[in-house]
């Protein structure tokens, strides 16, 4: 599903960023561009990131 409509970032993109070593929201943002515009996706994005880190 799309997490960030502005930049076109999916939950899969965030999971891939975590698989590639991102361990903070800043690192996920740098890797995906998520929340780079309106910022409304930040809460959902962080939640997807936390779930992905937990499942590592
Ligand atoms: Fe992600 Fe707007 S929906 S920056």
Which CATH number is correct for 2-54, 3.20.20.80, 1.10.10.1100, 1.10.260.40, 3.30.1280.10? 1.10.10.1100
User: Two tokens at 8?
Assistant: 């076109």
The per-residue pLDDT for range 1-49, each reduced to its tens digit, is 999 999 999 999 999 999 999 999 999 999 999 999 999 999 999 999 9
Residue 34: its pLDDT value, please?
98
The reported pLDDT for the residue numbered 56 is: 86
| Ligand 1 centroid to residue 11 C-alpha, Å | 13
Mutate to test the pocket of ligand 1, among 1, 2, 6 (most ligand atoms within 8 A of CB): 6
Does any ligand 1 atom lie closer than 6 A to the CB of residue 19? no
Distance between CA atoms of residues 1 and 4, nearest Å: 9
The answer to whether 23 and 30 are in contact (CB under 8 A) is no
- Of the candidates 39, 7, 10, 35, the one whose C-alpha atom is nearest the C-alpha of residue 27 is 35
* pLDDT score of 54 more than 90: yes
Mean pLDDT of 52-56: 95
């Amino acid at each position: 599903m799309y997490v960030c409509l502005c930049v076109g970032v999916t939950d899969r993109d965030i999971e891939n960023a975590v698989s590639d070593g991102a361990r903070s929201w800043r690192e996920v943002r740098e890797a995906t561009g998520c929340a780079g515009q309106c910022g409304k996706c930040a809460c959902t994005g962080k939640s997807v990131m936390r779930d992905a880190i937990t499942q590592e």
